[in-house]
Amino acid sequence: MYLSRDIGVSRIKGRKKYCYGTGLGIVLLDETYPGFPGDVRNPSAFPYPIQYEVAEGLDIQKLVLDEDKHQHLETVLKAAGKLEKMGCRAILAECGYFAYFQKEIAARMEVPVFMSSLLQIPWAQSLIGPGRVVGILMSAKEMLLDKHLTDVGVALGSNYVIGGAMDSGECPEFDNLWTEGIRPAVPHADYQQSEKAFVRVGLRFFKDHPNMGAMVLECTGFPPFARALQREIGIPIFSWGTLMDFAYSITVHRDYYGHV
C-alpha cells in the first residue's frame, strides 16, 4: 500500500498513548473458537495493524441472549478503553450484536467507534434508493432487537428485510464454531462446507426478495464467504471486512503515488 515512509512524519512527540503507528482496535468476545482468513479474529488477511482486547466474561450467549444486556456495558467500555489508551485509531467489535452498545461506547471514546457491521445499513439504503430493499443477513434473525437497529441509525420499518443464516440449521459448520450446546469441546469447521451452506442460504434470501438491491452481512464469520455469495447474486455486499477497510481508510487516509 505504501511505497515509502510518510515524508510528512519528520518529528515525533509523546502522547498519552502506549503505542504509535497503530491501526484498528477490536473488542473480542471471551471465546476461543477459530476463524478463517477474513474473520475479524484472524488478522492475517488484513493489510493494516490490528490490536485485540478481550471483553472478559462476555461470551456469545450473554451478548446475544441475555435480556439485560446493559449489565455488560462496563465490560465492553473497559476493553474499548484499553484499546484507545494503547493508541488505536478506531474501536471496533467482533460481533454484529455489539450494535446494542454503539451509542454508549461512541459517547465515551475519543476515537471513532464502529461496533457493528450494521452501521452500514443506512449507507446501503441511500445507495439503492427507496424502491429497493437492503437485505440484512443475521446469524440469528430472531435475536435482532429494535435497539440494535436504531443505535446504528436505521429507521425502523424502512426499506430493509431481515434473514437468519443459521435459523434453519442449514449451516452446521457455523454451529460447530459458535452455538452453545452443539459445538464440540474443540470448535472446528470445514471451509468448503461452510462456504457451500452459506452461499445456499444467502442465495435463497436474495431470491425471496426480488427487489433486494444490496446486502449487509452481520456476522464477523461471514466475510470469508462474501465474495462467493456475491458471484451468485451480483449486488453490493457490505460486511465486517468492508467496515474495517472503511474505518482504517478514514483514520489513516492513504497518500497517493503516481505520475502525470
Interval 8-37: pLDDT, tens: 777 777 777 778 888 999 999 999 999 999
Q: Where are the domains of the chain?
A: 24-116, 118-243
Question: pLDDT of 63-75, one tens digit each?
Answer: 999 999 999 999 9
Question: Residues 6 or more apart from 115 whose CB is under 8 A from it?
Answer: 91, 92, 93, 98, 99, 101, 102, 105, 106, 152
Question: pLDDT of 114-164, one tens digit each?
Answer: 999 999 999 999 999 889 999 999 999 999 999 999 999 999 999 999 999
Q: Summarize the confidence of residues 180-192 as an average pLDDT.
A: 91
The residue that leads in pLDDT, 16 or 197, is: 197
Is the model's pLDDT at 7 over the cut of 80?
no
Architecture of domain 24-116: 3-Layer(aba) Sandwich (3.40)
Which pLDDT value is given to residue 4? 59
| CA quadruple 243, 245, 248, 253: dihedral sign | negative
Which pLDDT value is given to residue 13? 79
**Torsion angle, CA of 165/168/174/177, rounded to 10 degrees?**
130
Contact 224, 250 (CB under 8 A): no
- Count the residues in the chain: 260
Is the model's pLDDT at 2 over the cut of 90?
no
CATH number of 118-243: 3.40.50
Contact 50, 21 (CB under 8 A): no
Which pLDDT value is given to residue 18? 74
The residue that leads in pLDDT, 2 or 131, is: 131
Phi/psi of residue 203, nearest 5 degrees: -65, -40
| CA quadruple 235, 226, 247, 30: dihedral sign | positive
Sheet containing strand 212-217, strands side by side:
160-164, 133-138, 212-217, 237-238
State what percent of residues in the chain have pLDDT above 70.
97
